[in-house]
């Protein structure tokens, strides 16, 4: 179990900008220290937070699809096909967290955002990492008022980079609201500091949950007879969800049997509740 944030950080008392900045800084530092240990499956953690951020982005854009529908749209669509508006939002977030932060990678993840804009974004300066992220949100939305998803992805990229992370970790994306994104100046900065604390409140227990799940899955691998079980386990621990067909080094039947066996051992979940087109995750 990861110890939760101290109550004084999460208390919803009236705050000045300086107090909010102090609290967000403390929360982010605590998160960095608490999740630095190897047991936290970092790629899975990032991808699960990307799903949460995509849900928020979809709501902000006026869509009603939840996590299950967004997973289906992305994971059950054939390569090269259009996953639809909600699936595209999840695809942008998932691509953004999948590789180290760079101009080229973010340009491939974000549709319609010029590499020059991304380069300027990553070079933004400010007194704190969250202040830099707030500047990014304001700049992107000034240029494109409907660009909420790119604004949040780029803001989290800047925040993650300022915290010394190689990969984007969605913290603001799962916590910001449509109302927050309509703010400007110091009001937006205050909203971002508060959202950073909320983001840490979501990310911290999730990291602990996934670390325990990863330990259970790895402990179950030696009990399995299937060839490639260890490789399959590491793939499962690298993403929010997958279809058995993603285990391309196994036959379809063997992949389905492996996933069902892991469900039977209590170390994997079937996420859809369906008899066909199933998706699995820790």
For 25-43, write each residue's pLDDT tens digit.
999 999 999 998 778 999 9
Question: Could you give the percent of the chain with pLDDT greater than 90?
Answer: 90
Residues with Cβ within 8 Å of 76's Cβ and at least 6 positions away in sequence, in order, are: 243, 277, 279
Where are the domain boundaries for CATH 1.10.10 in the chain? Answer: 224-281
Q: Give me the CATH code for the 224-281 domain, please.
A: 1.10.10
Question: CA 97, CA 171: separation in Å to the nearest integer?
Answer: 12
Q: The whole model's pTM is what?
A: 0.95
Question: CA 209, CA 45: separation in Å to the nearest integer?
Answer: 10
For 39-63, write each residue's pLDDT tens digit.
899 999 999 999 999 999 999 999 9
What number is the average pLDDT over the span 139-150?
95
Residue 1 has pLDDT above 80, yes or no: no
What number is the average pLDDT over the span 132-156?
97
For 184-209, write each residue's pLDDT tens digit.
999 999 999 999 999 999 999 999 99
What number is the average pLDDT over the span 93-98?
98
Are 171 and 45 in contact, with CB atoms under 8 Å apart? Answer: no
């Amino acid at each position: 179990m990861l110890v939760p944030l101290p109550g004084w950080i999460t208390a919803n008392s009236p705050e000045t900008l300086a107090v909010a900045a102090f609290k967000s800084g403390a929360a982010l530092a605590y998160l960095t220290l608490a999740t630095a240990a190897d047991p936290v499956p970092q790629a899975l953690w990032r991808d699960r937070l990307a799903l949460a951020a995509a849900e928020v982005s979809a709501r902000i854009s006026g869509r009603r699809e939840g996590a299950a529908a967004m997973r289906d749209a992305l994971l059950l669509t054939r390569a090269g096909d259009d996953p639809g508006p909600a699936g595209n939002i999840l695809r942008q977030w998932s691509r953004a967290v999948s590789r180290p932060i760079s101009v080229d990678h973010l340009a491939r993840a974000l549709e319609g955002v010029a590499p020059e804009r991304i380069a300027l974004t990553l070079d933004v300066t400010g007194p704190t990492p969250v202040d830099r992220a707030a500047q990014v949100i304001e700049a992107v939305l000034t240029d494109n008022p409907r660009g909420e998803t790119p604004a949040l992805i780029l803001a989290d990229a800047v925040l993650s980079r300022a915290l010394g992370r190689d990969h984007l970790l969605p913290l603001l994306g799962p916590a910001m609201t449509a109302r927050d994104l309509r703010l400007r100046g110091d009001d937006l900065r205050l909203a971002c500091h508060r959202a950073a604390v909320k983001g840490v409140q979501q990310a911290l227990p999730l990291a602990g949950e996934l670390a325990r799940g990863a330990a259970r899955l790895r402990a179950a691998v030696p009990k399995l007879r299937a060839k490639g079980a260890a490789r399959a386990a590491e793939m499962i621990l690298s993403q929010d969800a997958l279809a058995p067909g993603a285990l391309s080094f196994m036959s379809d039947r063997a992949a389905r049997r492996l996933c069902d066996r892991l469900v039977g051992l209590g170390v994997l979940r079937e996420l859809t509740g369906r008899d066909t087109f199933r998706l699995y995750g820790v």
